[in-house]
Structure formats: structure tokens, C-alpha cells
Amino acid sequence: MANDLKMKVANAVFETLNPNDIIGIGAGSTVKCLVDLMIEKQFSAKGLVVACPDLSQQFMDAGFEVIPANSVRHIDVYVDGADQIIESRCCLKGGGGRQTMEKLLANMAKSFIVMVDESKWSNRLGKNIPVSIEVLPEARSFVARQCVLLGGQPVYRQGYKTMHNNDIIDVYDLPLAEPLALEDKLNGIIGIVGHGLFAYCRPNEVFISMGNGIRRLN
């Protein structure tokens, strides 16, 4: 069922893509549905920038050209999934550990689209979902202690390394009632490379796959 909803939302977003655009692609299983579609339909964009090495490889194996982020001035539309999203369009990402690259591409984009199935929709940010934080390996304990001071409960994602060879701490119960204030605090902690709270950089548009159709929120 969840897969069906992911396919449906990927289809809805696919219909909005413009071949004249430089398109940014995020990470995760919902985004993979979109990548499968783009390959199946041989969708040729002006340029493709991809956050996730696996999906980048999938495109290249299918004969698509993928441009490094450093080679473009901007991205026209960046499409990604999310782990949790609320009405204000603030969201949590990084379940797949790609949040730093995802946030870079989202910031480079003129338009940022998030697509999710209804299981990601919530009335409260942080309900059972952590803020995933990429840290320099040497800063793991320091950052964890800073997060405890903020009221969070850090859990080290053991045995996992990010694409930049850093560590991930998943922090539960951080005070997310004021997401911008929390983002300011996290942005000020030395040793954090990137985190999955997208409050300043929130999507311009959200596509939500519900049992009874697609809801668009902007």
C-alpha cells in the first residue's frame, strides 16, 4: 500500500516536470519511484543534479548524464521525499543519511518540491521521528552533549557512515514547537556538518499521496 502511494505521488510530480529545467533529485524510496519513471519515460531534462550516489548511478547506468553540484549556478526544481512534514511545510529528513547534500541542493533550487505518502503527514514535528544530525566523527560526543542540553535524546546510528564519511546522531524529543529557533541553535553547534530539520529551507510545494488522491500544499 505504501509503495502504491509512493508511485502515485511520484507520478503526480513527474507530470509537473519541465524538460527545460535543471532538475535536482533527492534520496529515498519515494524519490526512487520518480527516478524509475524518468528512466522509463526517457525524460530528458536540461540538467540533472542528484543528491544520492545510488540514484546517480542508476541514472548513469541508464545513459543519463548527471552534473556535479559544483558545475551549476542553480537548480530550477529540486524534488525530494521527507520523513515527516507538517502543515507549515517544515519537515524532517535524513532517514537515509543524505540530509547535508539534500539541504545543499534544496538551497540551490528556485523551487523545492517535497513528495510524501500520507504516513509522513503529522500534526506535530518530531512525533516519534528524530532530527538526524551528520557530525564530524571527532565531534560526535560533543554534539550529543549539546543536544542533551537542548532537551534531546541522542542515539548514535551505529555502523553507519555518510557519503562524506561522517557519523549520524538521531536526536529524539528536541523542542520542535518553534522549528526556526531550534534550527538556529543547531546551526550554531560546532561539529555539526548538516541536519535534517528543514525549517528555513522548507519546500515551496508539497505533494501528499492520500488514499483518496493527491493533496497539494503550497
* Piece of the chain touching ligand 5RP by CB under 6 A; list 7-15, 63-71, 92-100, 175-183: 92-100
Interface residue with ligand 5RP among 28, 130, 152, 194 (CB under 6 A) is 28
Dist. CA 20–CA 17, nearest whole Å: 9
By beta-carbon proximity to ligand 5RP, the closer residue of 95 and 179 is 95
By beta-carbon proximity to ligand 5RP, the closer residue of 76 and 80 is 80
Q: What mask, x for binding ligand 5RP by CB under 6 A, covers residues 93 to 112?
A: xxxxxxx--x----------
Beta partners for residue 134, in sequence order: 168, 194
Interface residue with ligand 5RP among 9, 22, 30, 84 (CB under 6 A) is 30
- Quick one: cell of 113? 518540491
* Residue listed under C-alpha cell 529540486: 78
Which DSSP letter does residue 111 get?
Answer: E
By beta-carbon proximity to ligand 5RP, the closer residue of 81 and 203 is 81
Size of the site for ligand 5RP (CB under 6 A): 17
Is 102 assigned a catalytic role?
yes
* E strand residue ranges, the chain: 22-25, 47-50, 75-80, 84-85, 91-92, 109-117, 131-135, 153-156, 167-172, 192-195, 197-198, 205-210, 213-217
Interface residue with ligand 5RP among 76, 80, 134, 170 (CB under 6 A) is 80
Q: Is 81 an interacting residue with respect to ligand 5RP (CB under 6 A)? A: yes
By beta-carbon proximity to ligand 5RP, the closer residue of 142 and 215 is 215
DSSP 66-103: ---GGG-S-EEEEEE--SEE-TT--EE--TTS-HHHHH
Name the residue whose CB lies closest to ligand 5RP: 28
Beta partners for residue 85, in sequence order: 91, 121
The amino acid occupying position 190 is I
Q: Is 26 an interacting residue with respect to ligand 5RP (CB under 6 A)? A: yes
Active site (catalytic) residues:
102
Residues that bind ligand 5RP (CB under 6 A): 26-30, 80-83, 93-99, 102
